[in-house]
Amino acid sequence: MSTTAPTAPAAEAASPQGAYDPVALTESLASAAEKGAKLISEFAARNAGKQAAVASDELGLGKAFMELAAKMLTNPVRLAEGQMNLWRDYMNLWQSSMLRMMGAPALPVAEPAKGDKRFKDASWHEHFMFDYVKQSYLITARWLHEQVANVEGLSDAAKKKVDFFTRQYIDALAPSNFALTNPEVLRETVASGGQNLVRGLNNLLDDIERGNGQLRISMTDTKAFELGVNIATTPGQVVFLYEGRNTFRVVPTDGRKHRDDVEPTWNGDAVGRWEGDTLVVDVTNIIDESWLGADGWFHSDALHVVERLAGDRDRHAGRLGEGGDQRHETVLLGLDEALPAQQRDAAAISTPPQRFR
């Protein structure tokens, strides 16, 4: 649910006289409840009898954070120092906040970075409680990032992953992201009688419905663009979007060859070519830490994969990946070198053409 406060025009539209409409609120709640019940029912029916998917760590996050934990435990003195510094900052914040509550001047213990729009509202600085919440978060965020950044002995790859995803974790826990600790949202909630939260719930349910049970956050108006009218395509590459993982890969179709000067990756080195209406994707250089298929087959970096994707151009208007009559067939090559012996026979079979999205 989004906790960003709606703009003034949106609030006025929902409440022309400045007071909330209890009838409209009741109707919105009923609509949200009906939509939520429908989504839950569809999700249960869709997943009835379905086997649980094998958990995968395609980005290698588990390995990176295990390496981080191991390195941190080798220096318990630094861990203790970090804990003491955190405790000292909390005590300073408590003292500063008590002085402010009693009307005495007090310097802040932690301040947001210049240009940090999360805390631009005046209440974050003027109201005692919101200022305390803000500084508590900033102190903890600073401490956590310093603890991770100062660990010695991490590989460059692990260090970049840990730093990036720690920042994402810290940002996700910002008090501005939660309705009860965001002064702007609280003001709008009081002014609209809670209708802003109901609208947010409806938006969340729409995003889940759009993703067929998966959260698919709407970032643009999907009806605003039409291929060949106000959006163009360029030859030379095909982009695959994986909504469930929020990742993508680019497959060049300009005739280039495989590169031999790059490190293995999760998606491998892919080059494509068109055979009529079928896109043939040739993939090599796949990292040997990945799994082959949902059953968890292991392989080496000698694995060679050929994918064939076919679709009805009239129905899909050139957009590969829409589902419908599209077919996907995968052929595995180089199995003698890539797979253990007991898996070769099972893997040396093309997956049957199937509908997929």
Q: Rounded to the nearest 5 degrees, what angle is found at the Cα of 323, between the Cα atoms of 296 and 248?
A: 55
Whether 259 has a pLDDT exceeding 80, the answer reads yes
203/59 same-domain check:
yes
Hey, how many other C-beta atoms are within 10 angstroms of the C-beta on 321?
17
What is the C-alpha to C-alpha distance for residues 103 and 97, in angstroms, rounded to an integer?
10
What is the C-alpha to C-alpha distance for residues 200 and 203, in angstroms, rounded to an integer?
5
Whether 106 has a pLDDT exceeding 80, the answer reads yes
User: Are residues 322 and 222 in contact, defined by beta-carbon separation less than 8 angstroms?
Assistant: no
Length reported for the chain: 357
Domain region containing 204: 8-210
Q: Does the residue 133 lie in any domain?
A: yes
Whether 159 has a pLDDT exceeding 80, the answer reads yes
Residue 110 pLDDT grade (very low, low, confident, very high; cuts 50, 70, 90): very high
CA of residue 178 relative to chain centroid, distance: 18
Residue 181 pLDDT grade (very low, low, confident, very high; cuts 50, 70, 90): very high
pLDDT value for 201: 82
CB half-sphere exposure, 200, CA atoms < 13 A: 18
Q: Does the residue 356 lie in any domain?
A: no
Q: Does the residue 219 lie in any domain?
A: no
83/201 same-domain check:
yes
Whether 338 has a pLDDT exceeding 50, the answer reads no
pTM above 0.75, yes or no: no
30/159 same-domain check:
yes
What is the C-alpha to C-alpha distance for residues 284 and 268, in angstroms, rounded to an integer?
6
User: Are residues 157 and 164 in contact, defined by beta-carbon separation less than 8 angstroms?
Assistant: no
264/118 same-domain check:
no
- The rounded percent of the chain whose pLDDT value lies above 90 is 20
pLDDT tens, residue by residue, 69-79: 999 899 889 88
pLDDT value for 52: 61
Exposed, middle or buried, 192 (CB in 10 Å: 0-12/13-18/19+)? buried
More confident residue, 85 or 46: 85
pLDDT tens, residue by residue, 319-337: 333 333 344 444 444 434 4
173/269 same-domain check:
no
63/138 same-domain check:
yes
| DSSP designation for 176 | G
136/52 same-domain check:
yes
Q: Does the residue 39 lie in any domain?
A: yes
Task: Give me the number of domains the chain comprises.
Answer: 2
Q: Does the residue 357 lie in any domain?
A: no
